[in-house]
Every structure is written in structure tokens, then in C-alpha cells.
């Protein structure tokens, strides 16, 4: 737990979130300002600032968790596809300094050709 990290507080259930899925090490929850219906964030419950900071035990499971959440979102929102975005570092638009992947369900004709976050 890092002081004043909002995602640590969400992981510890000190701040409520709309939980999509969780296990001992990861939490998926709804983005508070979704850019499409179903926009979800996937975090390790343990605090790491950025992707290169992840310890091996977490990083080796992260992609499997992303795949699992993507499948959940495709089914739940009847999506055709999805975007995965990770803003790594301030210059790349990272605002919350607790590593997180964005998963954004997409549908044919939703009129967004690309995505810009941050
Ligand atoms: P980033 O620019 O990649 O750091 O994105 C941070 C994301 O966290 C943004 O999409 C915010 O809408 C989202 N966010 C910030 N606070 C919360 C919160 N309390 N619950 C859910 N999502 C949040
Ligand atoms: Zn944190």
C-alpha cells in the first residue's frame, strides 16, 4: 500500500468501485469516466508505479488476466473487439501512478477510429 494512491485504496476496498472481476493478486473495475460502455481498468492489487516495475510473479500472470477480462467484457457488452491501452509514465499520459491496463470494448460502427487517453 502506497500512501494516497487511489488505486491502492480501491484494491483495499477503502474506496468503492464497480468490480468486474478479482482474485488474490488482481482487480478489474469500471473506469469512472468510460470512453466507451464497459471501459475497464485492470490492476495488480500490489502497488507498482509502471509496467517495468512489476515483479516477475505478477507480470507473468498479467496477460492471462487481461485475456480473461477481455472475454468477460466481450460477452457482457456484446462487443466485436476491444482496445487495450497502457499509459506508461507522465509523458505518455499516465495520471494514476499505479500501473493499470485499460480495456475498452468496441463495436462495429461505434465511430472511434483510434483512441487517445490522458
Ligand atoms: P491514466 O491516464 O492511464 O492514468 O488513466 C487513469 C484512469 O483512471 C482514467 O481513465 C480515470 O477515469 C480513471 N480513474 C480515476 N479515478 C478513478 C476511480 N476512483 N475509479 C475508477 N476509475 C478511476
Ligand atoms: Zn497504488
The answer to whether residue 68 sits within a structural domain is: yes
The answer to whether residue 1 sits within a structural domain is: no
Give the contacts of 34 (CB within 8 A, at least 6 positions apart): 104
The answer to whether residue 52 sits within a structural domain is: yes
The answer to whether residue 112 sits within a structural domain is: no
Most ligand 1 atoms within 8 A of CB, residue of 17, 18, 41, 117 to mutate = 41
Q: Relative to the CA of 15, which ligand 1 atom is closest?
A: 19
Q: What is the mean pLDDT of residues 7-14?
A: 98
No. of helices (H) and no. of strands (E), the chain: 2, 5
The answer to whether residue 115 sits within a structural domain is: no
pTM of the model: 0.95
CA distances from 71 to 24, 82, 96 (A): 20, 10, 25
Determine the structural domain holding residue 84 and report its residue range: 6-106
The answer to whether residue 38 sits within a structural domain is: yes
Taking the C-alpha atoms of residue 100 and residue 67, their distance in angstroms, rounded to an integer, is 14
The verdict on the CB of residue 94 being under 6 Å from ligand 1 is yes
Q: What is the mean pLDDT of residues 6-27?
A: 98
**Which CATH number characterizes residue 18's domain?**
3.30.428.10
With beta carbons less than 8 A apart as the criterion, state whether 118 and 100 touch: no
The answer to whether residue 94 sits within a structural domain is: yes
Total domains present in the chain: 1
The answer to whether residue 46 sits within a structural domain is: yes
User: Tens digit of pLDDT for each residue in 63-91?
Assistant: 999 999 999 999 999 999 999 999 999 99
Amino acid at each position: 500500500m502506497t500512501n494516497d494512491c487511489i488505486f491502492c485504496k480501491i484494491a483495499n476496498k477503502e474506496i468503492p468501485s464497480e468490480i468486474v472481476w478479482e482474485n488474490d493478486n488482481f482487480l478489474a473495475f469500471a473506469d469512472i469516466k468510460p470512453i466507451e460502455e464497459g471501459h475497464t481498468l485492470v490492476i495488480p492489487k500490489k502497488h507498482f508505479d509502471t509496467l517495468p516495475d512489476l515483479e516477475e510473479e505478477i507480470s507473468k500472470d498479467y496477460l492471462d488476466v487481461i485475456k480473461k477480462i477481455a472475454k468477460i467484457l466481450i460477452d457482457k457488452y456484446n462487443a466485436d473487439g476491444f482496445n487495450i491501452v497502457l499509459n506508461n509514465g507522465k509523458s505518455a499520459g499516465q495520471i494514476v501512478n499505479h500501473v493499470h491496463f485499460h480495456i475498452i470494448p468496441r463495436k462495429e460502427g461505434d465511430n472511434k477510429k483510434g483512441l487517445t487517453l490522458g
